[in-house]
Amino acid sequence: VQLVESGGGLVRPGDSLRISCVASGFTEDEYAVGWFRQVPGQEREGVRCYSTRYGKEFQPSSVEARFTVASDKSEVTLTLEMNHVTPEDTAVYYCAAVDDWGFSCRELRQHDWDYWGQGIQVTVSA
């Protein structure tokens, strides 16, 4: 599985931000993908996730964002859109995936995710 992340960078407080991840190379029809983030000095946390079995699934998260998923037979694109960002949104955002997964993505613990993107730095600063 390959994960290619894009977007991010330096944005001002109150601006909007969009980050995307294209996941491809799944060998099975059922899989899970998701977004995580790691705020400086804190543990990495889940933001949103999607499974082919259940679709987009709710996760308790401090991140206010619109999560969209677009898929075809060869790849899936996850997009996270955040409006009115604040300095608290400063973090490295990671895309992750699990192949051959026919259950809820909420059942996955971080060590269960097999594939990780390189991470996108998002810095919110005036």
pLDDT in the model for residue 64: 84
Q: Of 65, 60, 66, give the one whose Cα is nearest residue 86.
A: 65
Q: Is the pLDDT of residue 34 over 80?
A: yes
Neighbours of 6 (CB within 10 A): 14
d(CA 38, CA 91): 5
Q: Which residue has the higher pLDDT, 98 or 56?
A: 98
Percent of the chain with pLDDT over 70: 99
* pLDDT number for residue 63: 81
pLDDT of res. 51 = 94
What is the secondary structure of 41-85 as a DSSP string? TS--EEEEEEETTTEEE----S---EEEEEE-SSEEEEEEEESS-
Q: What is the per-residue burial (b if ≥16 Cβ within 10 Å, else e) of 65-92? A: bebebeeeeeebbbbbebeebeeebbbb
> For the segment 66-99, what is each residue's pLDDT rounded down to a tens digit?
999 999 878 999 999 999 999 999 999 999 999 9
